[in-house]
Structure 1
Amino acid sequence: MGSFSIGHWIIVLLIVVLIFGTKRLRNMGGDLGSALRDFKKGLSGDEANPQLKADPPVGEKAQSETKRENAE
């Protein structure tokens, strides 16, 4: 009486799928996985911020190049 059998878990799983739907569960699983990955990366001491190394968006890059050309 204290533990659930496999039948109980199947019923619970079916109810969860009916309530949330498979697409939403997949999205939640992906979000949870990326959150855990980021958490592990933070614990490992990898402090490199990928956003700082990224190229600026095309519009900003074009504007900065135009400013440089006008300055010359």
Structure 2
Amino acid sequence: MGSLSIWHWVLVILVVVLLFGRGKVSDLMGDVAKGIKSFKKGLADDDTPAATTADPKPIEQQTAVKSEAEKAQS
């Protein structure tokens, strides 16, 4: 009693097609496909962030050393 037979699935599909029509269902599936493609493209872009960003700026060590020396003198 817990499983659905083939007739249950046929009835569900028939109701969906009657409610939304064939055009809306195909448009919806096309939008889902575009979303999946965009998601995959976004994941591929995230794999190589170092190639698209500029070189990081070096940290100036002299300012940190100077401020520590000034604190020690006070």
TM-score by length of 1: 0.61
Query: How many angstroms apart in 2 are the aligned matches of 1:46 and 1:14?
Result: 41
Structure 2 gap segments, 5+ residues each: 48-74
The runs of 4+ residues in structure 1 deviating greater than 6 Å are none
Read off the aligned partner of 1:10 and give its amino acid letter: V
Alpha-carbon shift at residue 21 of structure 1 (Å): 0.1
Asked if residue 29 in structure 1 is aligned to residue 11 in structure 2, the reply is no
Offset at residue 45 of structure 1 (A)? 2.0
Query: Which residue of structure 2 aligns with residue 39 of structure 1?
Result: 39
Q: Secondary structure at the match of 2:35?
A: helix
Report the structure number with the largest CA radius of gyration: 2
Task: Give me the whole-angstrom Cα distance separating, in 1, the residues matched to 2:13 and 2:46.
Answer: 37
- Of residues 37-46 and 8-17 in structure 1, the stretch that sits farther from structure 2 once superposed is 37-46
Residue 24 of structure 2 aligns to which amino acid in structure 1? R
Give the superposed CA RMSD. 1.6
| Partner of residue 11, structure 2 | 11
Q: 1:15 corresponds to which letter in structure 2?
A: V
Say how many residue pairs are matched.
Answer: 47
Q: Percent identity?
A: 47
Unaligned segments of structure 1, at least 5 residues: 48-72
TM-score scaled by structure 2? 0.59
1:46 Cα deviation after fit: 6.2
